Each structure stands twice: as C-alpha cells, then as structure tokens.
Chains A and B, each alone.
Chain A
Amino acid sequence: MKIALRVNGVLHEVDVEPRKLLVHVLRELGYKSVRVGCDTATCGACTVLMDGRPVKSCNVLAVQADGAEIYTADYSDEVMEKLRDAFKRHHAAQCGFCTSGMLTTAYYLVRRGVKSEEEVVEGLSGVLCRCTGYQNIVNAVKEVAGL
C-alpha cells in the first residue's frame, strides 16, 4: 500500500506492506536515530512525534501513520537544539541507546509547557533508561523547560 509520511519536514512516498511497523519504515528511509529497543512497546526507544504527540513507532503500523507529520530526534529547531545541548552538558546520555526516545519525548514535554519536575518524570515514564541515568535526563529537560 502506498503511504505518504512527512519526516522532519521531508515528504516521503513509500510502498509498504500493511504489517510493517512505522519504526522499520523510518529506519529503512534512513532515520537510524529511531531505535528498535524492546519491540514490545515497553522501552520507548522508538518514540517519535506523530502529528505532535509522542508514539512508540514499534507499536504503530506504518499504514496507520499515512499522511502524518513525523519528528525524530534528528529534527532541528531551537527547542531541539537546546535539548541536545542540555543533554550533553548534563551528561544525560550514558550508553546513548534511549537518547532518541528521551529527546523526542522531552521535545514534546517542553513544547507542551511542562510545569514541574513531577510532570517531567511522569512525561518521561514511557522511555526506559537501563543505565538508570534518569536524574541527569530530568535535569536537562528541566533546564530547557525553564524549571
């Protein structure tokens, strides 16, 4: 089935099998920052923004995303740049595997106007960091959110 995806502003028209997951289509299009972590919708490493909301791209069929606007961790604008910079300074990436999911989710939280540390923690709860480096990640997001 032919679908259209706008990824980080670039329009892609691809022919996909209905059983194909969004995460695999994105990776095959070259967006390798989108990680396949657990493949069971638990870890959140594959989180991308779909029409402005965070989704686990391993838990969405690509055909469901037809016509959607997708942002990955490679997306660039002022907020994302600030987040990447804050992640670096706060040492918010240890092994780095969850970082893409953390960045996309954090982008959503900052854009939404997250108001407290509690909201940051709840907001990030769908992305697991198995290095357990949560505090530095939370600190980085708080800084960019002005908390």
Chain B
Amino acid sequence: MIPRFEYIRVFSLPEAVDVLSRREDAAPLAGGQSLIPMLKLRVASYGVLVDIGRVRELRYLRYGDVVEVGALVRHYELEESPCGFLRGVAVRIGDPQVRSLGTVGGSLAHADPFGDWPAAMLALGAVVKTAGPDGAREVAIDDFVKGPYQTALERGELVAGLEFRCPPRGAYVKFARRHNDFALTAVAVAAEVKEGHVSWARVAALGAADRPVRLRKVEALLSGVPLTADVIASAAEAAAKEAQPPADFRASAEYRRALLSVAVKRALGRL
C-alpha cells in the first residue's frame, strides 16, 4: 500500500498554487499515471497530494492560429485532433488506459526523459504557461526541460497550459520494445516545406541524450534544401553522430544510436 499522505482536492488554480507554495512536501496530482506508480514504488513520496484534476480553468483546448492546450487535457483528447502532428504523438503514448487519464501538463511537469510530450513540444517550439505564487510566466520549451525529471518550475508553480502553432508538416516516429512501453528512441519533426524546399524544420529526439533534445545539426542540414533521399540519408547520419544516447536495461547506447538514425529517416520520409 502507498504510505499515508494528506489529500487536498482543489477546484481553482489560485487554490492549487496557494497549497503547493505553502506546503513544502506537496505535489500536484493530475492524471496520476506516472505519479501513482512512483508512489507505489517509493521512488517518490509526498506529505500532501493536491488533486488538481477538477480545476476547470486548466481544462481547455482551442484550435486557432495558435493551438492552446490546457494542462489537464488528457492524451486521448488529442487522438482525433485536427492538428495531424498532435494525433501522431497522442496515439503512440502508452495504451488506451493511460491515455484516458494521463495529461499533457503532467507529462511536461514530470519531464520523464522518455516521455513523449516534452520531445513533441520541443519540435513544436511550444511556450509553456505556468502559474505560481509570483504570478503567471511564459517559458520557452527549450528553457523548460532542465534535465531528467527536472524543469524550470519553481516551488509552488504549476504548468497551466501550452501554446504553439500546428506545423504545416510534422511526424512522430517512436520505437519501443512493446506497444505500450516507453520509447527506446523517438523523433519528432515539425517543418514547413515550400516549393519543394524545407523553409524550416525543428527536430527533437528522445533517447538521444539524458533528456529530450533538439538535433540542431540535423535542423541546420535541412534548412533551405529539398527533401531528397540524399539529404534524408545525411540527416540520419548526422543524428547518429550528434547523439549521446543513454544505455539502460531497455537498450544499449549503440542500439539507440542505430534506431535514432532510422527514426530520423522515417520521420523525414513522412513529411
């Protein structure tokens, strides 16, 4: 059984921020799909769980010029998104059960090095909107993930939502041992292609470092050129060279490096 904790259910964002900033041993509970397993395993332990699952103002999803995703939007809600890139990511997360409860904001705040949304948001160049005791902040995704399970969130701060533009073209390619397992490696690409030439591309990867990273050499290589087989091949090679993949029980660094190359190739092939 999970060790005892105090449970506080909040119904508004100010209430959540108030409890989280007052109580040092407090953690927010959204979908709980990472938090609950961690509590069971004693990897994490908190004196207070602040259940933000019923905070209405974090539950919004708007598709305009800018896509606005509230922190409490659950993965499954993006499975049929009008933005193709989001659909491609959402359907590859965990399994339907996890997608029923897991939230986009939770995935960002948790910053699991193999979580899907942090890499996807890197490719999108998203802005992370936070709420905290000192008010609201907007943090560029490139500055948000600081390391494995580490983010730019200060004490008492929450992810409130994300904003980005749906890319004209995008792809998400993920390799995992089992269908619902964490990624061995994954590549997210957002790009615009005009008259056969790539005008810009943001390429992010999981399993290429100890945290999700942008593959900047690959991005530079793609900029302004047509997406020919040769370009794609050299991008795949550059990705393998640029990466410093971690080794763990799921895969060796060398295997991840090889997969990364294939993932880049397939992702670019789908643009």
Chain A interface residues (CB < 8 Å from chain B): 1, 17-21, 39-41, 44, 47, 50, 53-56, 59-61, 63-64, 105, 108, 122-123, 125-126
Q: Cβ of B179 < 8 Å from any Cβ of A?
A: yes
Contacts of A61 in B (CB 8 A): 7, 29, 32, 36
A44 to B95, CA, bound (A): 10
Contact of B95 among A39, A63, A126 (CB under 8 A): A126
Contact of A53 among B1, B2, B76 (CB under 8 A): B76
Verify B100–A55 contact, CB threshold 8 A. yes
Contacts of B7 in A (CB 8 A): 1, 18, 61, 63
Contacts of B141 in A (CB 8 A): none
Shortest CB-to-CB span from A5 to chain B, Å, is 16
Verify B101–A55 contact, CB threshold 8 A. yes
> How many interface residues does B have (CB within 8 Å)?
29
- Which residue of chain B has the shortest Cβ distance to A125 in the bound complex? B179
Chain B interface residues (CB < 8 Å from chain A): 1-7, 9, 29, 32-33, 36-37, 40-41, 49, 51, 53, 76, 91, 94-98, 100-101, 179-180
Verify A41–B33 contact, CB threshold 8 A. yes
Verify B36–A41 contact, CB threshold 8 A. yes
Verify B96–A54 contact, CB threshold 8 A. yes
Verify A39–B40 contact, CB threshold 8 A. yes
Contacts of B1 in A (CB 8 A): 19-20
Contact of B51 among A39, A53, A64, A125 (CB under 8 A): A64
Contacts of B33 in A (CB 8 A): 41, 59
Shortest CB-to-CB span from B200 to chain A, Å, is 32
- Which residue of chain B has the shortest Cβ distance to A18 in the bound complex? B7
Verify A122–B36 contact, CB threshold 8 A. no
Shortest CB-to-CB span from A40 to chain B, Å, is 6
Verify A126–B94 contact, CB threshold 8 A. yes
Verify A40–B37 contact, CB threshold 8 A. yes
The 6 closest A-B pairs by CB, nearest first: A126-B95, A18-B7, A53-B100, A125-B179, A19-B2, A126-B97
